[in-house]
Each structure stands twice: as C-alpha cells, then as structure tokens.
Amino acid sequence: MTLLDDLRTLLGPAHVLTGPDLAKYTGDWSGHYHPNPLAVARPANTAEVAAVLQCAAKHKTPVVPVSGLTGLVGGAMTNGGLMLSIERLNKIREIRPATRIAIVEAGVVLQSLHDAAEAQGLYFPLWFGARGSAMIGGVLSTNAGGSNVVRYGSTRALCLGLEVVLPDGRILNLMSELHKNNSGYDLRQMFIGAEGTLGVITAAVMKLVPRPKAYATATLAARSLPDALDLLNRLQEASGGAVEAFEYMPASYMQRLSECRPDIRLPFDRRYETNILVEIAATAPKDYTPKADGTVPVVALLEDTLATLIETGAVLDAEIAQNDAQRLAMWKRRELAAEITIDRQPTIDTDIALPLHLVPDFFTRFDARLPSLDAGADTISVAHLGDGNVHFTVYPTRDDPALYDAVVEAVEDIVADLGGSFSAEHGVGLSKLNSMARRKDPVALDVMRAVKAALDPAGLMNPGKVIPTKG
C-alpha cells in the first residue's frame, strides 16, 4: 500500500486531494512561496489527525500542517511533503459565558469565533485583517498578534489549554480551563509559536472578555512619535488601561494608500508625518452610558485629551469617529496595509519589535544607513505602536538576493542594538531562518533542537522551518 492508498482508506478519497484539487494550497499569500505538496489530507477530527500522522511516519513522509494559508513567512512551504489541513476541524464546541471561555477546534475561522462570542455578549480580542480566513490553529502556531495586543496580549496570552497530536500520533491532552496550574513544565506554551514543528494543534481553550459597549476612535496627526507615545500614556492612565489599539501610519503609508486605493478617503487635507489611529473601548456603564446631553463618557474622554494636546501643539489635527460607519472607515485604512505593501514588488519585508520609546531611533538610524546599501530604495512602514511592533518594508531598486540579505542584516543590527527582536508576530517559517541563525541565542537554539529531536526524532513535522540547521 502506498501512502495515498493508506490515506484514502483512512479518510475517504474525497479528503485526500491531489492533482488539480491542490490549486488552493499551492500559493502563498505573500507571493514569495509556491508549495508543491504530494497531497493534502483533510482529517475531520483529532483521531483522524492522529491516524494521518501515524501513516506519514510509517511511510517516512514529511508533514506540513496548514490552516487558513494567511501566513507571510513560508511556514506552509513544501516540495513533495504531505499537507495536513485542519479546515474540517471547525466546530466551536462550547462558549461558556459564566467563565468567559471558548472551547474550539483548530479549524475554526477567527471571524466565526468573533461572531459566536458576540452572540453571548462577549468578545474574543484577537483582531487583524485576515480574520475572515485565519484559523485558530494557525494563530496559535504562529502566536499571532494584531491590533489589540496593547490591551489583551498576543495569542499566547489568550490561551488556557490545548489539544495536540504529537508526531508519533499520540494525543496530548492539555485542555485545561484553569488560570493557575503549577504542575510542572507548561507544555502548552511550547506548542504555541512552534509553527507545527512539534505536532498538530487540534483544539484549544481560549479566553473571552466582555464585549465593549462603546468605542472612542480617532485618527490624529501628532507632532512627533514621542508626542504620540505621551498621548498613549495619558489615555491609558485616564481610561484605566482601556486603549485597545494605537496604530502608526506615517506619511509614506498614507501616500502609498492614496496611490493604490484612490477610492479610500484620507483623514486630512494636508500631509502629516505622524498619523495615529487610536481606539478606546468601554465595558463599564459609567464609561458607555450617554449623559443627559447625549455625550458618551469614553468619547468625551478622548475628545478632551486630544483638545488639550492640540492646545500644546503635540497634536496637530484630529478626526473623531461620530458613528460606526466612520469608525470602520478608519480601520479600513489600516487594514489595507498588507494589500498596498505587496502591490509593489520587489519587497523586503521585516516584522520587528522594539521598546516603545526607541521606535523613533530605529527609523532615524535606518534612514541614515539605507543610502549606502541602495541609494534609490524606498520604504514604507506601519506599526502597532502601542506594543512596539513595526512592519517595516524596503522597496529595493533591484531583485537581488545579496541586497536582500544586506538590508535584512542592517535592520537586524539596529534592532539588536536597541534591544528589540527581528520577529514580532508573523512567525519564523523559512524567511527568518538566517535571522535565527545570526541573532538567536546559541544556547536557546540548542535547547530548541533538543526539544525538536525529542518529540520528532525523524524530523518529519514541518521540516526546515523555525530552527536553522546547525553548522
């Protein structure tokens, strides 16, 4: 029996895809990678996932777990391996309003969890542009971030428990609903961010929070990034830490947006260098209940803070959303980031994290260094400024691998000197393997290799990703 024969017996022929049926799995959202799988297996439950992994191990075939295919770093790349899609593991098993948790399978689309939580008056606070296709298994495997990290943390902070199928087919039940559990190593955290290199996440227990009853949302032009950071701190203090998003869109971003999407209205008639999208969410009645004159306290808080800073000159202009349509229009500008960035090629994409107060230093230092690398290159950036995550892209004058490496190393040099990280929220995959080899602590790499060897001695789980080859 061949691998495909065994898989068809296990799953049925309709769920072992080959030939033309592979089309949707052979592209990469970034356009940089083009997977060529032997087949795609589509198990329907945890037991079938276990059987598929046992079958692959028997035939010594590499396995690449895939979910919504929204990754940006080549994590789903394969040439001849077996893709294991979790798309049929798509049940929301339970929403528990009293304890504010959701028990979900890994193939649940993020937007579906948002909708289910909202129906119970709750909110799953992981929010980014690909929420209509990204799946829970994928966001856990990459420890995805998004726009709400400033308040709620990344995916890692939102997960209480996991179910994982190990490379040998054993099922590891870590589906704890506990907020405290000190019984040895926290194995759950080991699989979050592992990008499918240690096993396949099949289910999870995720935290929910109260659904906001009102938002205060504005796009503003700040005098400088330090002034914007001062605004963030003021709003956090005044709102009791209720700032949900604090997104930076510089002038270069706004210019690119106007070129790619002339149908999108820009917030201001003139060009400002430092544009911020800020949103505060209210869950307490004192913050969302309208006063006698109709004003909503959380909106008044934002208006008053901005007015004070406009008087001092720290804020140059502001547009405050007066209704949900205006709020969504503001978010549309921000969520077009990936589209308008990759619309121009070639690109050198980086996804870095910096101490908040040193974000301006990164831009200053890189702008000074870029001309010596590529005098005609342009840049574009957008940032989750509230947590220091900068998506920084260089448009080089030529598609040259040597230039690509030189630019990435220049970014790494500055980031390392500022105490930052070369990888913030997109994962490592293939595209950051060289960065891992150059910048990750060697002892940390040795520990990662030891964990990988212990759980996956044959090296069949998403091989070649995350951990660079030692040498």
Domains, the chain, in order of start with CATH, read: 3-85 (3.30.43.10), 92-210 (3.30.465.10), 214-337 (3.30.70.2190), 344-425 (3.30.70.2740)
Q: What pLDDT shows up at residue 28?
A: 76
Give 441: exposed, middle or buried? Use CB within 10 Å, 0-12, 13-18, 19+: exposed
Tell me which DSSP letter residue 7 carries: H
The answer to whether the beta carbons of residues 230 and 314 sit under 8 Å apart is yes
225-239 and 297-312 helices, crossing angle to 10°: 150
Q: What pLDDT shows up at residue 209?
A: 97
Alpha helix stretches (DSSP H) within 219-358 = 225-239, 251-260, 285-288, 297-312, 324-335, 337-342
How many degrees, rounded to 5, is the angle at CA 232 between CA 230 and CA 233? 65
Q: What pLDDT shows up at residue 129?
A: 86
| Three-class DSSP category at 258 | helix
pTM over 0.85: yes
Helix (H) or strand (E) holding 219: strand 214-222
Q: What pLDDT shows up at residue 92?
A: 98
Identify the segments of the chain with pLDDT beneath 70.
none
Q: What pLDDT shows up at residue 228?
A: 97
Q: What pLDDT shows up at residue 465?
A: 97
> Across the strands, what pairs with 159?
206
Can you count the helices (H) and strands (E) in the chain? 16, 18
Q: What pLDDT shows up at residue 115?
A: 97
Q: What pLDDT shows up at residue 471?
A: 72
Q: What pLDDT shows up at residue 218?
A: 98
Q: What pLDDT shows up at residue 188?
A: 97
Q: What pLDDT shows up at residue 32?
A: 80
